[in-house]
Amino acid sequence: MGESAAAAFGGLQTGKDVADRIAQLVWEISGYRFIYKLSKPSAASDSVRMYSFYCAQNEDEVKKSQVNDDPRKRRARMKMSCFPCKGYLHITVDDENLELPLRLKLKHHLSHLHYVNISISKNI
Ligand SMILES: [Zn+2]
């Protein structure tokens, strides 16, 4: 691991921590924000899990997550533009050995306006 990678991944305790950190880096680099959805154990090993994230503006996932929502909350969230981008991020991490190279699969089929962090953009 290079020095900058060690700094970026230092202090991470679990596979979920590593996956969250990578999703954060992908957001910083690509401008697309990925939201954690679920994790699944790998067929190959009990300690290996695949963490799935979806693009915060992926309209398929945004619609699904709104089904049981309070309509007032839903209206607030609809301000964010959504796209049929099919954006997913899958990160495979070995919980027992976080130093191992991990597998990262990013799917994003459509470029769209980037996710804007409202609290940051106020200060610009
Ligand atoms: Zn997207």
Asked whether residue 40 carries a pLDDT value surpassing 60, the answer given is yes
99 CA to middle of ligand 1, Å? Answer: 29
Q: What is the mean pLDDT of residues 39-64?
A: 91
CA of residue 45 to ligand 1 center, whole Å: 31
SS3 44: coil
Share of the chain above pLDDT 70, in %: 77
User: How far does the centroid of ligand 1 lie from the alpha carbon of residue 60, in Å?
Assistant: 10
Average of per-residue pLDDT across 68-97: 79
CA of 59 to the centre of ligand 1 (A): 8
CA of 86 to the centre of ligand 1 (A): 6
90 CA distance to ligand 1 middle (Å) = 14
How many distinct helices (H) and strands (E) make up the chain? 5, 4
Residues 6+ apart with CB under 8 A from 13: none
Task: List the 88-94 sheet strands across, edge first.
Answer: 34-41, 48-55, 88-94, 103-107
pTM: 0.77
Residue 121 backbone dihedrals phi, psi, to 5 degrees: -65, -25
